[in-house]
Amino acid sequence: MKDVITDVGEKLKAREYKLTPRRESILRVLLENKDKHLSAEEVYNLVKEKAPDVGLATVYRTLELFSDFDIIHSMDFGDGRKRYEYGDSEATGHHHHHVICLKCGKIFEVAEDLLEDLELRVSRDLDFEVVNHQLKIFGYCKNCRA
Amino acid sequence: MKDVITDVGEKLKAREYKLTPRRESILRVLLENKDKHLSAEEVYNLVKEKAPDVGLATVYRTLELFSDFDIIHSMDFGDGRKRYEYGDSEATGHHHHHVICLKCGKIFEVAEDLLEDLELRVSRDLDFEVVNHQLKIFGYCKNCRA
DNA sequence: CTATGTGCAAATCCTTTGCAATCCA
DNA sequence: TGGATTGCAAAGGATTTGCACATAG
């Protein structure tokens, strides 16, 4: 994990940005919650545990910055707020599908990719350069049907 | 089209709601723009051309109402506002995929459905009742690559 | 030192709500 | 008439921005 942080530091430095202590604590929270799809406010609350004086605006600005650098990526489950996850969108977005329960809101992940055919067809028929895709499957989970 | 409007009228009446003149003009706008993915504000502006005294709140309330009745359905292209289209989600949402250009924002539609396999697998492996899905493909269109 | 980063509060954007007036079965 | 519907203005929630101060290199 130390490596990741150093890595991010370099990445930022390469474009004249700094990995300040504030940014580092935000990054840590993201790293410690790789699998959680945190909202900005959730990140804020977690960062506040370690650094009580952060501002929400800083969290937003940092998440934006990290997204620009493709250090994290944001996603949208239709609940009115963006959610963030460590990792670039190529790694965790593409070929990564979300199954969302309409009742409890729980999110499951499916790593499979059966979409290559479809992407090919889109590229060909529409003369469109596909760079990513996003699949959400809605329904009711085991518990909520009980 | 007269039929559609009468139809919607019945549908609403069945649950003690009225197809008021205001609601009818909103419905007309949606019908005249079946293919457009209008935002609430866009609907509002179009309705105002015919009925200058509508309120934006009424448009929101009506869109909500029509969605509840599955007369229209909403979608989200990640631009921070909901967009609406005439037709129930079964007809136009499910089995209807969006191809979105990251540069010009243009949206293409693909009607195919190669996802049944995947849905089956999800139902089985996760014990999840699938009711809908949403697929967005991002990339660059012909023009924007030129 | 000097540009960059930060906290705070105010501003913004989209959407929802409260309320009094209006409409329609 | 009385509940549904509407317009307006105010409220709401998520996010952004302006600004003066703090800080890193």
pLDDT tens, chain B, 146 aa long: 668 899 999 999 888 899 999 999 999 999 999 888 899 999 999 999 999 999 999 999 999 999 999 999 888 887 889 999 998 766 555 556 788 887 777 888 876 666 676 777 788 888 888 887 888 888 888 888 88
Q: How far is it, in rounded angstroms, from Cα B52 to Cα B46?
A: 9
Cβ neighbours of residue B145 closer than 8 Å, sequence gap 6 or more: A129
pLDDT of residue A43: 97
Q: Would you tell me how many other CB atoms lie within 10 Å of the CB of residue B75? A: 18
Residue A4 confidence (pLDDT) above 90: no
Q: Whole-prediction pTM value? A: 0.79
pLDDT of residue B92: 58
pLDDT of residue B99: 86
Which of A26 and B137 is assigned the larger pLDDT?
Answer: A26
Count of residues making up chain B: 146
Q: How far is it, in rounded angstroms, from Cα A82 to Cα A89?
A: 14
Average pLDDT of A105-117?
A: 72
| Amino acid code (one letter) for A121 | R
Cβ neighbours of residue B26 closer than 8 Å, sequence gap 6 or more: B43, B47, B54, B58, B59, B62, B63, B66
Query: Do residues A67 and A74 lie in contact, with contact meaning Cβ atoms separated by under 8 Å?
Result: yes
| Strand D bases with any atom < 7 A from protein Cβ | 4-10, 13-18, 23-25
Distance B93 CA to C16 C1' (A): 25
Tokens 């329960």 belong to A101
Q: Would you tell me how many other CB atoms lie within 10 Å of the CB of residue B52? A: 7
Domains, chain B, in order of start with CATH, read 2-89 (1.10.10.10), 94-145 (3.30.1490.190)
How confident is the model over A39-96, as pLDDT tens digits?
A: 999 999 999 999 999 999 999 999 999 999 999 988 888 788 999 999 876 665 555 6
Q: In the predicted model, what is the mean pLDDT of chain A? A: 86
How many CA atoms lie within 13 Å of B132's alpha carbon, on the beta-carbon side?
15
Residue A129 confidence (pLDDT) above 70: yes
Would the Cβ of B13 be found within 7 angstroms of any atom in strand C?
Answer: no
- In 3D, which of A22, A14, A84, A72 has the Cα closest to residue A47? A22
Mutate to test the interface with B, among A98, A138, A145 (most CBs of B within 10 A): A138
Average pLDDT of A117-129?
A: 81
Query: Do residues A91 and A102 lie in contact, with contact meaning Cβ atoms separated by under 8 Å?
Result: no
pLDDT of residue A114: 60
| Both tokens assigned to B21 | 């003149």
pLDDT of residue A79: 84
Q: Where are the alpha helices (DSSP H) in chain A?
A: 2-13, 21-32, 40-50, 56-68, 89-92, 116-126, 142-145
Strand partners, A76: A82
From chain A, pick out residues whose CB is under 8 angstroms from the CB of B119: 137
How confident is the model over A133-144, as pLDDT tens digits?
A: 888 888 888 888
Strand partners, B75: B83
From chain B, pick out residues whose CB is under 8 angstroms from the CB of A142: 126-128
Which of B70 and A124 is assigned the larger pLDDT?
Answer: B70
